[in-house]
Amino acid sequence: MPPKLGIIAGQGELPARIIQACRDSGRDFFVVAIEGQADPESIAGTPHMWSRLGAADTAFAKLREVAAEEVVLAGAVRRPSLGALRPDLRTARFLARLARSALGDDSLLSAVVKEFEDAGFRVVGPDEILGSMVAEAKGYGRTRPDGQAKADIETGIRVARALGALDIGQAVVVQQGVVLGVEAIEGTDALIARCGALRREGPGGVLVKLKKPGQERRVDLPTIGPRTVAAAAKAGLRGIAIEAGGALVLDPAAVAAKADETGLFVTGIEVTE
């Protein structure tokens, strides 16, 4: 049996999926739910504590107390202002070490991973726990991209890789060769909603989501789920393309069912480094 897992729970569906995977496999776990970020419903009924984002000392001490050996960072976390963070001593020292850094998402998350490792925990990626949900090079559902959609996907790949190389975001929406929007700090859901208002006449746009070049795989892998498909349909998009082997599809069967229900295509694409 794998060692006890500490789940650092942020926003979205990912924490709940990891919790369920632990229950299904009988793995012992403990949840550190980030205040103002994690969904209380997904945490209910689990062994857990709520923690401020700036209270690293308390969270680390609790993980040691419950004998967690491995840690997974699950779900997005909005960055608070320094005033709202109210950092404890450990967090303040961490921020001081990063004071001269650019603090892009990837560099920040890599530093967070190192902080956990320096504290004696082994950080594992969500894909190590949810192996069956790693995106495959295939279609999810019956609909397939046509010629125009394939061209938009190719454009999206080029733009997303450039975006990721600058440590800005992972996703882009392209419609008929035109980039409607790129992901920044707002996240994928907000990107999709924003692009819905920018939709042009004719076939809808395509959401392309890739991991960043050289990204730390244990944190912030691109992730979609049934809610992503529903949001894309509401915004008038025609499909979603995600990186095979470099992204997570939460509940593949439900994603395929939602794609069939809404008439969208969802496809895993191979991307050459």
CA 154 – CA 172 distance, rounded (Å) = 11
State which amino acid sits at residue 9.
A
**pLDDT for 98:** 66
Interhelix angle 89-97/56-65, rounded to 10 degrees, is 120
**pLDDT for 182:** 96
**pLDDT for 103:** 54
CA 39 – CA 95 distance, rounded (Å) = 26
**pLDDT for 222:** 94
CA 76 – CA 211 distance, rounded (Å) = 14
The per-residue DSSP string of 162-195 comes to HHHHTTS-SEEEEETTEEEEE-STT-HHHHHHHH
**In which residue ranges of the chain is pLDDT below 50?**
102
Structural domains in the chain plus CATH codes: 5-129 (3.40.50.20), 132-269 (3.40.140.80)
Please give the model's pTM, rounded to 2 decimal places. 0.88
**pLDDT for 90:** 78
CA distance to 20, 166, 169, 191, 222, per residue, from 185 (Å): 28, 13, 7, 10, 14
